Structure 1
């Protein structure tokens, strides 16, 4: 690059900031999008896997990244800033569904998500079909996993304390969680619908 600049001579004008952020960035984006689209024929022929993973960066932003894995390698698809959203089943499903639509539903063989034990524990704990049985038992590992996720997702101490108090009300079936209607609904409705009904 320096050789090219030297070859152009002292009259060479550097691109403006506006060019770099407007035209230059758009051109790069279009070129990269075209490059990624060139792989879609391979995805149609052999299929692909969508992988997603979430993390919280040093800025405390909650990010979810989506990758496409196929026989020739892995490509970054997109990332989503999920900091201002509740990461419930419906929200995560919507994000995954968007990624599948972007790649093409007919091309996706499987979807791989974060398999952390804490998420499994939380899924177990908040499953109404389990919690509303008469002989429910939440061992220490389930409760530790639940608290780990609350600590990770809550931004402030007050949010953590509120979430922990809500978990305790849920566990003890107090208030909204203790009524006859809720117990019956837990046995008949799907977990996604029940979650939306209780936490709306």
Structure 2
């Protein structure tokens, strides 16, 4: 321990400092997000389980200037079918702006091809004429 150092309390760590750090990280990502309008982004979904075997889904924005983990969802207790995952993807697309989208890349889960069908069915309604690849 450092002599005379008093560590911050639990509440300060989870409120004030957490908000400051989030603002700092958002500021660091501004140059990457600024390129989204010029170059477009790919949304990548990634499903995995943590050390406690909880199912998680990451939604990541990928560009040539870097990647940003947009959201990570704890899907414990959820039925992870095509409708659930397409709902997550649609929410992220609305958040990043459909005009910035280039493609959506998913894993090879059995419901991935059905997700592609659902996304393509909705594309002309509100996503515009973008190129979409579902792997």
TM-score range, shorter chain: 0.7 to 0.9
TM-score between both structures, scaled by the size of structure 2: 0.73
Unaligned runs of 5+ in 2: 115-120, 122-135
Work out the CA distance in 2 between the residues paired with 1:121 and 1:76. 20
Q: Point out the structure with the larger helix share.
A: 1
Once the two structures are superposed, the pairs formed by residues 60-99 of structure 1 within 5 Å of their partners are 60-99=53-92
Counterparts in 2 of 1:37 and 1:94: CA distance versus 1, 3 Å: farther
Cα deviations by residue, 1:73-95 (Å, 9 ceiling, x for unpaired): 22211100111111122111110
Work out the CA distance in 2 between the residues paired with 1:121 and 1:35. 33
Q: Please point out which of 104, 128, 153 is paired with 2:97.
A: 104
Report the count of equivalent residues. Answer: 115
TM-score between both structures, scaled by the size of structure 1: 0.51
Unaligned runs of 5+ in 1: 124-189, 191-200
CA contact (8 A) 2:44 2:60 kept: yes
Report whether the alignment pairs 1:48 with 2:71: no
Cα deviations by residue, 1:16-72 (Å, 9 ceiling, x for unpaired): 222112111111112112322332220101111010011123322110001111011
Higher RCO (CA 8 Å, separation ≥ 6 residues): 2
The CA RMSD measured in Å over matched residues stands at 2.4
Work out the CA distance in 2 between the residues paired with 1:63 and 1:27. 26
Asked which structure has the greater CA Rg, the reply is 1
